[in-house]
C-alpha cells in the first residue's frame, strides 16, 4: 500500500507542478510536494535517507537544468529566484522524483542498466510532455536538448538508485528491505 501512495503522491505533485505553471500558480506544485513530504516523513521506513537523497537530487537538478538554460536550449516558464537558473518548481520535481527511489521505483535498484535505459527514454519524454503543456520553451536545437537530457538521466537515475539503497541501508538498517535482492 505504501508503494501505491508513493506513486499517487509522485503523480499528484507532477500534475500540480505542471498545471500550476501553465495556469500561473507555480507554487501549487510546491504545496502538493509539502503534503508528499509530510506523508513520507510519517509513513516511509526510509524517510531520513530519502530526504538526504532528495537534497542530492535537487542539487543534481539545479546543475542539469541550469546548464540547459545557460546553453540556450530551454527557457522555463514561471518565476525564478535568480535569472538563468532552474526555477523552484523544477527543483521540486527533482525532490519529488527522489522520494520514489525507495518507493514505487525501488524495484529498479537491482536493475540499474534497465533503469538507465528507461531514464534515457522517459526523461526526455517527461520534458517533452511538460514543454507540450507550455511549462517551457525549446530555444535551441531540440535534438541536442533531448539527447542531453537522455544522457544525463541515463547516468543520474542509476546513480540515484544506487545512493538510495546505500543511504537506506546506512540510516535504516533494521527497517530497510530491498524490493528485489540485496542492495
Q: pLDDT digit string (tens) for 145-180?
A: 999 999 999 999 999 999 999 999 999 887 666 665
Q: How many CB atoms lie within 10 A of CB 61?
A: 21
For residue 26, tell me if it sits in a domain: yes
For residue 179, tell me if it sits in a domain: no
Give the predicted TM-score (pTM) of the model. Answer: 0.92
pLDDT above 80 (res 109) = yes
pLDDT above 50 (res 124) = yes
For residue 89, tell me if it sits in a domain: yes
pLDDT the model gives residue 182: 41
User: Which of 69-73, 78-82, 150-154 comes out lowest in average pLDDT?
Assistant: 78-82
93 contacts 115 by C-beta, under 8 angstroms: no
Burial class (CB in 10 A: 0-12, 13-18, 19+), 31: middle
Instruction: Give CA–CA dist 136/93, Å, rounded.
Output: 14
Chain centroid, CA 169 distance in Å: 21
The percent of residues above 70 in pLDDT, for the chain, comes to 95
Domains contained in the chain, number: 1
Local confidence band at 35 (pLDDT 50, 70, 90 cut-offs): very high
pLDDT the model gives residue 178: 63
The percent of residues above 90 in pLDDT, for the chain, comes to 88
pLDDT above 60 (res 71) = yes
For residue 93, tell me if it sits in a domain: yes
pLDDT above 90 (res 1) = no
Residue 36's domain comprises 2-171
For residue 180, tell me if it sits in a domain: no
Task: State the DSSP H helix or E strand holding residue 4, giving kind and residue range, or none if neither.
Answer: helix 2-22
pLDDT above 80 (res 10) = yes
For residue 96, tell me if it sits in a domain: yes
For residue 176, tell me if it sits in a domain: no
pLDDT above 50 (res 181) = no
Over residues 33-54, mean pLDDT: 97
Average pLDDT, the chain: 93
Over residues 36-61, mean pLDDT: 97
For residue 43, tell me if it sits in a domain: yes
Amino acid at each position: 500500500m505504501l508503494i501505491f501512495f508513493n506513486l499517487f503522491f509522485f503523480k499528484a505533485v507532477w500534475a500540480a507542478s505542471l498545471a500550476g505553471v501553465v495556469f500561473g500558480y507555480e507554487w501549487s506544485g510546491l504545496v502538493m510536494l509539502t503534503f508528499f513530504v509530510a506523508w513520507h516523513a510519517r509513513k516511509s521506513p526510509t524517510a531520513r535517507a530519502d530526504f538526504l537523497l532528495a537534497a542530492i537530487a535537487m542539487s543534481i537538478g539545479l546543475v542539469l537544468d541550469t546548464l540547459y538554460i545557460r546553453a540556450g536550449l530551454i527557457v522555463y516558464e514561471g518565476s525564478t529566484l535568480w535569472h538563468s537558473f532552474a526555477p523552484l518548481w523544477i527543483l521540486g520535481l527533482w525532490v519529488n522524483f527522489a522520494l520514489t527511489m525507495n518507493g514505487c521505483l525501488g524495484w529498479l535498484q537491482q536493475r540499474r542498466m534497465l533503469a538507465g535505459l528507461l531514464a534515457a527514454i522517459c526523461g526526455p519524454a517527461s520534458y517533452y510532455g511538460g514543454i507540450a503543456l507550455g511549462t517551457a520553451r525549446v530555444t535551441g536545437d531540440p535534438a541536442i536538448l533531448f539527447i542531453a537530457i537522455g544522457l544525463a538521466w541515463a547516468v543520474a537515475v542509476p546513480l540515484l538508485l544506487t545512493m538510495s539503497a546505500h543511504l537506506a541501508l546506512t540510516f535504516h538498517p533494521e527497517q530497510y528491505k530491498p524490493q528485489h535482492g540485496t542492495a
